Amino acid sequence: MTIVKKIIIIGAGASGVYLSILLKQKLEYQCEIIVLEQNASPLKKLLATGNGRCNLSNKDMSVDYFSTDQKDYVQDIIDQFDMLKQMNELGLYCVYQGNLLYPKSEQALSVKQVMMNCANELGVSFFYNQEVISIEQSKRYLVHTTHQTYQADYVIFAMGSEAGKLSGVNNSRYDILKKLKLDVVKSTPSLVQMTTLPVIKEWKGVRVKGTFSLLENNQCIHKEKGELLFTDYGVSGIAVMQLSAFYQENHQYELSIDFFDDQDVKKLHEYVELRMNKGYNHFYDGLLHNKISTYFARRNLTSTLEIVKLFKDFRLQVTGIRSYETAQVMKGGLSLLEVNHDLQIEKYPHLYAVGEILNVAGLCGGYNLHFAFASAYRVAQAIEREFHAKNK
């Protein structure tokens, strides 16, 4: 007689829901799957991904786009997962737009509907408003929530991070790990807005395209070509989000803005010289957004070199990054030194971790969702192998 094993997944985010589907598909009647979620509904963060369009993956999938403490683990996990193929098997039709993979519908809602329909049809049990507060190891694992205690043979941490408050506002997910004497790397916001000095309030709401560089001691730490949005606290936009991933506490940074990244210094110098020789009364009009032109005009610059520097290397002091409440992800989490290649926690048999609860944080561009799904796939394969080995 086959003994049914109980598997509890903590967290109904992308990695947790996908893992529940894979385990039910692979093990069918051999396991009972319970997903505990502290929110009132599943996949809240996924719905906000890619401005609701849900960028699932990227053709340029390299560990170089991730911050982690075990790059070889992460590279192997992301390499072994084919997002396009796996989503197609779920019934989600996806297409590449350049390097970025999206559902054909360009709706994160489609991804949620396909995943939840599949999980429900397979018989996965979801329990909501169940905030897990601790795990206790006995003959079986005891999972204590704010409402009751569950017993399990396997437990998988898939509770994400506090980024964006969309996984729930309680930070106890890290406390659960610490109570188990596990090493947790301090969590800090990533893919988040920056605060600056000065704050040019008259530029609030202005978007500019260009190349933006994070500098420390005049050395470029990282640069991004794209779009920046000026705000009443500093700067935002995809390019800024990417730069924030390279921000470290207790470092002094500047943001360099190249408004004319399509022109090298020499050509721009010639153009500015020509424009000055024509004697325009309103020199900056027609070059930049009106609010930026007005601001620059007040400087009364007369030197071509000064004007070119203003256009190619406009500096703002970076005073910090915003909090987890507006971040897309968090750097830090459970150290990968605590897990093996199958993401099983070394100190605790049948205890696994997937997704953003791990110390793995990618840049914008589908990297974080790819890892969330890929890590779930890795754990599903490991548990399936163990079940089959025991049943031989």
Predicted confidence (pLDDT) per residue in 256-268, tens digit: 999 999 999 999 9
Q: What average pLDDT is seen over the chain?
A: 94
Question: How much is the pLDDT for 205?
Answer: 97
Helix, strand or coil for residue 336?
Answer: helix
d(CA 83, CA 311): 41
As given in the structure block, the two tokens for residue 352 are 């696994």
- Among residues 145, 180, 102, 187, which one has the least CA distance to residue 11? 145
CB 214 within 8 A of CB 318: yes
How far does Cα 295 stand from its chain's mean position? 35
Residues 311-333 have pLDDT tens digits of: 999 999 999 999 988 999 999 99
Share of residues in the chain with pLDDT > 70 (%): 97
Whether pLDDT at 57 is above 60: yes
Which H or E run contains 311? helix 304-312
- pLDDT recorded at residue 168: 52
| Phi (first) and psi of residue 214, to 5 degrees | -95, 120
Q: Over range 146-156, report the average pLDDT.
A: 95
Q: How confident is the model at residue 170 (pLDDT cuts 50, 70, 90)?
A: low
Say how far apart CA 145 and CA 134 lie, in whole Å.
7
Domain 5-188+327-390: CATH class, spelled out: alpha beta
- Tell me where in the chain the CATH 3.50.50.60 domain(s) lie: 5-188+327-390
Higher pLDDT, 285 or 347: 347
Q: Can you give the pLDDT at residue 14? A: 97
pLDDT digits (tens, 9 = 90+) for 5-25: 999 999 999 999 999 999 999
What per-residue confidence (pLDDT) applies to 391?
Answer: 67
Quick check: 165 pLDDT over 70?
no
* 3-state SS, residue 138: coil
156 within 8 A of 379, measured Cβ to Cβ: yes
pTM: predicted TM-score of the whole model, two decimal places: 0.94
Residue 2's pLDDT band, with cuts at 50, 70 and 90, is low
- Say what the pLDDT of residue 132 is: 94
